[in-house]
Structure 1
Amino acid sequence: MTHHDNDHNTEALRKALFDALDDERTGMLAISDRASHAQPMTHYFDENARVLRFITASDTGLARDIGTGAQAHFTLTTRDREVYACMSGPIIVSEDRALLEDLWSPAAAMWFEGGIDDPKVALLEMPLHEAAVWTVDANALQFGIEMLRANLGDHTPDLGDHAVINLAA
């Protein structure tokens, strides 16, 4: 059963999503309007601004696909398989040096010979506009059985909540 944004579960799903974005460090980023595959990316979540940020190299296919701006999807699954989410919004290359310095870490530095001043360092910003979120209240076996039953017939799996929620800040 699909719920929409005005239902009672919106706040619970939004909280589950924001918690998942804080707990997990990596998801899959895809540029929606390009014929390219999604790729794993470490994200930095700014809950107040409702923005995801990523550090990448300007000479990657991903950065080339973004160009002067594109639409993107970012998907995330928590390790415990209790939250599944697909977020969407525009994505751009940011020139905000202060933000880059806030996010910079030894892990990011490993990818760039010249450190933070490497000319290839690119900061991506993706304001979140919408997300499809599923929360699963079941163990993996029950989840598998419910999905199988749903795929075999007219059974609607009863596993948790699902809604498409508006995230625009």
Structure 2
Amino acid sequence: MTDTLTDTFWKNMSKIHVILLGTDNGNPVPMAPLARQDDNAIWFITSADHDTFKAAKTGQEAKIYLGDSAGNMYGTIKGHLSASDDSDKLDDLWTPMAGAWFENGREDDSVRLMKYTPTEAEIWASDGMAKHLFETIRANITDDTPDSGEYGIIHF
């Protein structure tokens, strides 16, 4: 089950546009994740003066909070946040969406890259709202329990 759930995790993470990222230094903040299974990492493009980047420079533990219907995944991810100097990786990950946040686009001096390495995730991966509603109706008619998707804990 874990291998299948791990694959589902990475597939669904690639569809998620916004998560909440929390560190010891403050409240969770919305961030745009760039999930890459090959790196076993979730990347973030941010500004040098952002609190999460300051936390990343010290290698803090961080938690991601998921609640996204586009990726059909909900839950929490524990892991470590670190600052990255990998200019090639930043070029690879750069998007017009990231460029909108910086006055000089990719060439802005404040552009920074963070790497989030997950260690554990507790997730519920669903098949979407339509299936959830169908399963809820079916369960009420049959007195059965609805199939609400895959649930589990993943250790990376």
Alignment correspondent of 2:88: 98
- 3-state SS in 1 of match to 2:6: helix
Quick one: which of 131, 152, 156 aligns to 1:163?
152
Kindly provide the CA deviation profile for residues 49-84 of structure 1, in whole angstroms up to 9, marking residues without a partner as x: 210100011112222233321111112233168421
1:59–1:15: structure 2 CA closer, same or farther, 3 Å change rule?
same
Equivalenced residues, count: 147
Alignment correspondent of 2:66: 76
* Bigger helix share: 2
Q: For 1:157 and 1:39, how far apart are their aligned partners in 2?
A: 33
Q: List runs of 5+ in structure 1 lacking aligned partners.
A: 1-8, 147-155
Deviation, 1:140, is 4.9
CA contact (8 A) 2:56 2:81 kept: yes
What are the within-5 Å matches in structure 2 for residues 1-169 of structure 1? 9-31=1-23, 33-34=24-25, 36-79=26-69, 82-136=72-126, 139-140=132-133, 142=136, 159-167=148-156
1:11–1:117: structure 2 CA closer, same or farther, 3 Å change rule?
same
The range that moved more, 57-66 or 120-129, is 57-66
Q: Output the TM-score relative to the length of structure 2.
A: 0.80
Runs of at least 4 residues off by over 4 Å: none
1:116–1:80: structure 2 CA closer, same or farther, 3 Å change rule?
closer
CA contact (8 A) 1:17 1:85 kept: no
Kindly provide the CA deviation profile for residues 84-137 of structure 1, in whole angstroms up to 9, marking residues without a partner as x: 132121111111111111111222112112222222111000112111111346
Q: List runs of 5+ in structure 2 lacking aligned partners.
A: none
Q: For 1:80 and 1:64, how far apart are their aligned partners in 2?
A: 30
- 3-state SS in 2 of match to 1:25: coil
Q: Output the TM-score relative to the length of structure 1.
A: 0.74
Q: CA RMSD in A?
A: 2.6
Q: For 1:39 and 1:117, how far apart are their aligned partners in 2?
A: 24
1:96–1:78: structure 2 CA closer, same or farther, 3 Å change rule?
same
Aligned-residue sequence identity (percent) comes to 27
